[in-house]
Chain A
Amino acid sequence: MGMTLAEKILAQSAGVQHVTEGDVLEAKVDLAMSHENAALVINQFMDIYQGTDLKPNVWDPDRIAIVFDHRVPAESSKTATNQKKVRGFVEQQGIKKFHDVRGDRGGICHQILPEFGYVHPGQLVVGTDSHTTTHGALGALAFGIGATEMASVWALGTLRVEVPKSIFVNIYGHCPPGIYAKDIILNLIGKISSQGANFRVLEFHGEAIDAMSTSGRMTLCNMAVEAGATAGMVQGDKETVNYLIGHAGLESIDVDFPMADYDAVYTERIDINASTLSPQIAVPHAVDHVCPIHDVEGIRIDQVVIGSCTNGRIDDLAVAAHTMRNRHVAKNVRVLVFPASWKIYREAMDRGYLDALTNAGAVIMNPGCGCCLGVHQGALADGETALSTTNRNFKGRMGNPNAEVYLCSPAVAAASALKGYITDPRNN
């Protein structure tokens, strides 16, 4: 019996020939990522060593990445103290994949890992962040874990995993103008619900995926968790090689990527025709409350957020800049732009995107997660409505349980920012 892509990677990580759904394995971790919550991981890690005469040293400092992104620069003395504690640990343990609050190598963790060439096809990647699923875009099996689980990984280098079932998602056809990866993933989540893929892996295939950039694949896999999925995955291909060599700057890469077997067993198959999609919107307060834009056109908005780990890459900023160039953000609308990394920030500056966006009235923020989860800048007032390219619209998400968040693509966000209400970008 053949294996799915996730099964192939887990078999390899556990050092066995064959695995099947439900097997419980001790799998070797290739990359373990944390952000500010490394402060809690350190606490739990030290706790593991309590009462032993062992020295608390991580299993492999080269396989640990720590990226400050949730509250940068620190918004409070508490965060600053947590960050200081993490810096000390990084120094003491010799962790080199550390990305502090810096304009040369900082950014959002899910952008930094691929951008710096840390993620490769076939790896097992875990992170103390639910959107670690993003890295499945490069053919890795990547998922979020809690802080105590991470402390255990830091100590042991392995993770107890139950082999999940996989769902075969076939995205056929081609995205028409104005339709992006974001619309595909929102449509899928709306179809299968926020728990439709619970404890399962979404394995993406089809001609729309073949034609999609790594950036678009990252948007897809980023939001796989919003359908409850353990991971979202795209098999490594020519595009992946081009990304790793052309963008991430690797000199070479072993292209013997693991692939799903032709006779792999999937629990379900889902087909989506990209050619017939319209822009998709997730309405408050659930990511699976998805409708075509037609149903919500005209809803007034107070704040537009463009960017984040979901949609803060250069192609996303290009769409926003082209839409907003030589035009103006509507009165009483605030537009906040969060590039996913400083590398993207600088590239957007070089290409004139930041100029176009700020001239239109947008504010460029430093790369970070804070606004998306309501912890740092961009909070909403009671009764306000935001339209955002981020990944969650749960009650209270943008810092206020009495506000509402709609989710969309950068094209919808930019076109709507100019009008002051939700607008179909294809009519612009």
Chain B
Amino acid sequence: MAKVVLKLEDDVSTDVIYPGRYMATVLPSETPKYAFADHAVFNEKLNQGKIPAGSILVAGLNFGCGSSREQAASCLQGHGLIVLAKSFSRIFMQNAVNVGLRVAVVSELEAKEGDELELAPNRVTNRTSSRDFAIQVLPKAYREIMEGGGLIAHARKKLLERTHRTS
């Protein structure tokens, strides 16, 4: 069971998730500090460790639209957050899968801040409202990378396979 710690509207851009002025910071070990930097209250809670890993952000349509900056995914991953949205922007979704940020498309989801949710592989149960919502199945290409521990491990495996084939 995990708590909804932030409820967001549609079209949350990567400028909101990770403001451009912190883009010179690139390493996944350093980006979490600036997650939602312009949302001072939430950012402070994150940095003070008041939000346990496994907590949930609930967003509307098109979460992560805008810039391709991977910091927007790595900063949330660093805090161990899970993002449930009605839909994601293409680049953000791919980045999330690549860096191991847990995301799921739940197009009908109804939840508010403070609600307790239970996540199963293909369904979310809102324990507060006692309602179930289906998780959309991700394309196979995404699942392969997620199950293989992210894109770095996946690319390493492919690289080794190719090298062995040619040698």
CB within 8 Å for A195 and B70 given contacts A39-B26, A148-B95, A401-B38: no
| Complex Cα gap A79–B150 (Å) | 27
Interface CB pairs A-B, < 8 A, 13: A36-B23, A43-B26, A43-B27, A48-B159, A71-B24, A146-B68, A148-B95, A149-B98, A160-B141, A194-B65, A373-B20, A394-B15, A395-B13
| Interface of chain B residues 149 through 166 with chain A (CB within 8 A) | 150-152, 154-156, 158-160, 162-163
* A contact residues around B163 at 8 Å (CB): 54
| Complex Cα gap A156–B154 (Å) | 11
B163 and chain A: residue at smallest CB distance = A54
B89 at the interface (CB under 8 A from A): yes
Contact B61 A195 (CB under 8 A): yes
A296 at the interface (CB under 8 A from B): no
Instruction: Give the residue of A39, A51, A156 whose beta carbon is less than 8 angstroms from that of B162.
Output: A156
| Complex Cα gap A151–B151 (Å) | 9
- Per-position contact with B for A104-136: 1 when CB-CB < 8 Å, else 0? 000000000000000000000000111010000
Contact B90 A375 (CB under 8 A): no
Of A152, A286, A375, most B-chain CB atoms within 10 Å: A152
A361 at the interface (CB under 8 A from B): no
B25 at the interface (CB under 8 A from A): yes
Contact B98 A146 (CB under 8 A): yes
Contact B19 A148 (CB under 8 A): no
Closest chain-A Cβ to B125's Cβ sits at a distance in Å of 27
| Complex Cα gap A160–B151 (Å) | 11
Closest chain-A Cβ to B87's Cβ sits at a distance in Å of 7
* A contact residues around B89 at 8 Å (CB): 195, 198, 228
Contact B68 A392 (CB under 8 A): no
Contact A375 B141 (CB under 8 A): no
B144 and chain A: residue at smallest CB distance = A160
Closest chain-B Cβ to A27's Cβ sits at a distance in Å of 12
A49 at the interface (CB under 8 A from B): yes
- Per-position contact with B for A388-428: 1 when CB-CB < 8 Å, else 0? 00001011110101000000000000000000000000000
Of A39, A40, A82, A162, most B-chain CB atoms within 10 Å: A40
- Per-position contact with A for B27-55: 1 when CB-CB < 8 Å, else 0? 10000000000100000000000000000
| Complex Cα gap A155–B21 (Å) | 29
A257 at the interface (CB under 8 A from B): no
| Interface of chain A residues 144 through 167 with chain B (CB within 8 A) | 144-149, 151-152, 155-156, 160, 162
* A contact residues around B136 at 8 Å (CB): none
B residues whose Cβ falls under 8 Å from a Cβ of A: 11, 13, 15-16, 19-21, 23-27, 38, 61-62, 65-70, 73, 87, 89-91, 94-95, 98-99, 139-141, 150-152, 154-156, 158-160, 162-163
Of B61, B65, B95, B151, most A-chain CB atoms within 10 Å: B65
Contact B15 A392 (CB under 8 A): yes
Contact B62 A194 (CB under 8 A): yes
Of B13, B73, B155, most A-chain CB atoms within 10 Å: B155
Instruction: Give the residue of A36, A43, A51, A228 whose beta carbon is less than 8 angstroms from that of B62.
Output: A228
A266 at the interface (CB under 8 A from B): no
Contact B62 A373 (CB under 8 A): no
- Per-position contact with B for A195-214: 1 when CB-CB < 8 Å, else 0? 10011000000000000000
CB within 8 Å for A76 and B24 given contacts A145-B94, A151-B155, A286-B11: yes
Of A47, A51, A156, A394, most B-chain CB atoms within 10 Å: A394
* B contact residues around A78 at 8 Å (CB): 24-25
A299 at the interface (CB under 8 A from B): no
- A195-B89, A374-B15 are known contacts; what are 19 more A-B pairs with Cβ within 8 Å? A24-B139, A37-B70, A43-B26, A43-B27, A52-B160, A76-B24, A78-B24, A78-B25, A82-B24, A82-B26, A146-B69, A148-B70, A149-B98, A152-B151, A152-B154, A195-B62, A195-B65, A395-B38, A396-B19
* B contact residues around A401 at 8 Å (CB): 19, 38
Closest chain-A Cβ to B66's Cβ sits at a distance in Å of 6
* B contact residues around A278 at 8 Å (CB): none
Closest chain-A Cβ to B47's Cβ sits at a distance in Å of 18
A83 and chain B: residue at smallest CB distance = B24
| Complex Cα gap A50–B139 (Å) | 28
Contact A48 B15 (CB under 8 A): no
* B contact residues around A155 at 8 Å (CB): 155, 159
Contact A144 B155 (CB under 8 A): no
| Complex Cα gap A82–B26 (Å) | 9
A42 and chain B: residue at smallest CB distance = B26
A44 at the interface (CB under 8 A from B): yes
Contact A151 B152 (CB under 8 A): yes
